[in-house]
Amino acid sequence: MDYSEKIRKYAETLGFDACGIAAVECIDPAGRFKKWLEQGFHAQMNWLIKTAEIRLDIRRRLPGAQSVVVVARNYYAPRPTVPLHAVRVSRYAWGLDYHYVLRRPLESLAAYIRSLAPETRTFLSIDNGPVLEKFWAARAGVGWIGKNSLVIREGLGSWFFLGCVVTTLPLQPDVPLENRCGECKACMDACPTGAIVEAGVVDARRCISYQTVENRKELDSDIAKHIDPWVFGCDICQEACPWNRDVRKTSERQFHPIPKHANPDPQELLGLTAESFAHEFTNTPISRAGLARIKKNVLKILENRGQSIPLYQEFDGASEKEPLSGSPQ
């Protein structure tokens, strides 16, 4: 018996905005992922190299895997009015950490899949496992991979998180969607650092989002002069995408903006201590960057603006650590 339609309907009851299914097979027959790594486009994200073989063959993580169920959850909310002199945070980080928000419904979906047939096994990931979520999303018909390397779906644009349930249950796969970017290069043209080196390929070393969140070293000087006003992440390529216009607001209230998280005051960020940073940002994506990274980003933005900066900046308790996972999508 094929349970695909039951799984899609159950995913809808859990609040997911889209659900697709792919059969487990070679995920990257053209070797694009390995080439991306060989070119050093992963920057300091060395865990991608360590888990590359598993990412390319998910059966190394779940022996006997036959299907991948991919779900999408809309996180779009309009940006609140930007106060004068404020800095900006990427839209995905305005609310609670999506790992926490999506974990329970994704676990419920995995449990439902296991209940359909005896001895069915599952493995789930919300960009925190060795899974190439974007590749599987495209294979499962959830969307197509745009020129900025993000998955795009009509009605949602690219403003959504992905979750995957890998399972040993054989399911009827969905048909991949046609890539509808056409000749449009809006995202590529909008990127101020030229991080989108070719269609679908992003060099993380030049990406403002990577530099302001994942980078554990000093900001590259050529990139640093372009980060204003982005203190955490960057939405420039998404905001330029025509498919991201007129998308509906998320129904998940935990993704709605927490006061002052979308457009924080730079001086308030500089005044944070380790304790106040933890109080304000624990259980939000912003905590991944760490206080030291956030303050360094603020100081660089103020320098770019020609504004006075403190002669001495206290970084007590703001040690930087490896992030929980990569960025969404």
Q: In the annotation, is 203 catalytic?
A: no
CA angle 52, 57, 62 (to 5 degrees): 110
Which residues, in sequence order, are bridge partners of residue 124?
A: 165
CB atoms within 10 A of CB 318: 18
Residue with tokens 């990406």: 207
Tokens of 105: 């419904």
Compute CA 26 distance to the chain's CA centroid, rounded to the nearest angstrom.
23
DSSP string, 25-67: S-S-TT-HHHHHHHTTTTTT-THHHHTHHHHH-GGGTSTT--E
**C-alpha to C-alpha distance for 243 and 253, rounded to whole angstroms:** 23
Catalytic entry in 17, 97, 127, 203: 127
**C-alpha to C-alpha distance for 16 and 96, rounded to whole angstroms:** 17
Which are the catalytic amino acids? 127
